Amino acid sequence: MSSRVAAVILAAGAGSRFSGPDHKLRAEIDGVSVLARSVNAARAVDFDEVFVVVGDDDFADILPEVGVTVVPSPRWADGQAHSLQAAVAAARAKSYDAIIVAPGDQPLVGALTWAALRDAEGTPFAVATYAGVQRPPTRLAASIWDDLPTDGDRGARAVMAPTPELVTEVPSAGNPTDVDTVEALEEVRQLYADRLAVTDLLGRTPMGPYEVVVRNVDGEPVVLKNYPVLANGRPMPTLYWLCGERESMLIGRLEAMKGVRRAEADLGLDVINASHDRYCAERDAILDASGFEPEHRPSGGVGGTRNGVKCLHAHYGYWLAGGDDPVGQWVHEHLHEVDSPHWPSSV
């Protein structure tokens, strides 16, 4: 018999750091409130119930009319622990086996993260990780509810931190940025716009954490920097991913003109393979710094290879991002063969 699990969105805080005209959870991202986006991600998963814990504002006008259960937290002003305890009491009353808890101001976490945590039953705690860093949502089994804080501005981390052996880390492709300030809201809006653009450019939703490191003059993504492990635990060897539509098209033309063979002949394998070693070292350093040790580490250099040139796109993306890549430099110097000699001055 599968566990009965409820999602919990904490929406009872005052949001005092946010200086906008309304409560931060009412702020909109592409026409939808921060709170509604957070709630909708949980509602998209097959949970037994979705609780929304509220305080002074019940947010009735922005919450879905169906699919959520509003839980009042009378002592919300006394700290997060009281809101968490309100959620635990609601879950106990309905005999749930676990709850998955997240603040209402993380609108970009995504349904895939909620779904992965729902299925993480091996330990009392499970927490999402983003590029190796633990952030909510957090899965809390009923067996540890009695140990959760009962007062102050503390949450589950107070119990998790001393017992890492009881915690399962769940890699996530979402983004945990929370809307604490007006500046953070603008950052989240940009991240949301980037995600739409990247999804369109790739033709699919990104499968792991990334950041946009190169843009064109219109602010559109050109190069992504990927975390070395995907959300499903598989290695991601391509640290720098060229996603710009025009750039990819032109380099495809250069490859069709035997660009790969020409680059190898002009530069030599020793020079090329040295760039693979630098690429691999940079990727490994990112993984080591995150503290997360996957079952399988990515291998290979630029484009997933250690010898010669596999893909001019990957080398050019690395070079555009500032990497010491002679092949990327070679591509830059030969793009005049397929386009204007001044290209890519727009990057």
Provide the pLDDT for residue 153. 87
For residue 343, is pLDDT > 50? Answer: no
Q: Confidence class of residue 291 from pLDDT cuts 50, 70 and 90?
A: confident
Q: And the tokens for 155? A: 């949450």
Least confident of 96-100, 261-265, 304-308: 304-308
DSSP state of 23: -
Q: Give the domain ranges of the chain.
A: 5-171, 207-337
Q: Which residue has the higher pLDDT, 256 or 291?
A: 256
Write down the pLDDT at residue 346.
43
pLDDT greater than 70 at residue 30: yes
* DSSP run (H or E) holding 252: helix 245-256
Q: State the Cα–Cα distance between residues 322 and 104, nearest whole angstrom.
A: 37
Average pLDDT over residues 5-25: 94
How confident is the model over 43-68, as a mean pLDDT? 94
Q: In what order do the strands lie in the sheet with 133-141?
A: 69-72, 49-54, 5-11, 98-103, 133-141, 125-130, 167-171
What value does the mean pLDDT take over residues 250-265? 95
pLDDT above 90 coverage of the chain, percent: 84
Of the pLDDT bands very low, low, confident and very high (cuts 50, 70, 90), residue 165 is: very high
pLDDT of residue 313: 97
Give the pLDDT score at 115. 95
Dist CA 151 CA 134 (whole Å): 23
Strands 240-242 vs 133-141: parallel, antiparallel or unpaired: unpaired
CATH number of 5-171: 3.90.550.10
What pLDDT does residue 129 have? 93
CA dist 333 and 331 (Å) reads 5
pLDDT value, residue 1 = 53
Task: Map tokens 């037994």 to a residue.
Answer: 48
**Mean pLDDT computed over 333-341:** 81
pTM for the complete prediction?
0.88
Q: What is the mean pLDDT of the chain?
A: 93
342 pLDDT more than 90:
no
* Per-residue pLDDT, 347: 44
Instruction: Could you list the beta-strand ranges (E) of 179-266.
Output: 210-215, 221-226, 240-242
pLDDT score of 314: 97
pLDDT at 197 over 70: yes
pLDDT at 345: 43
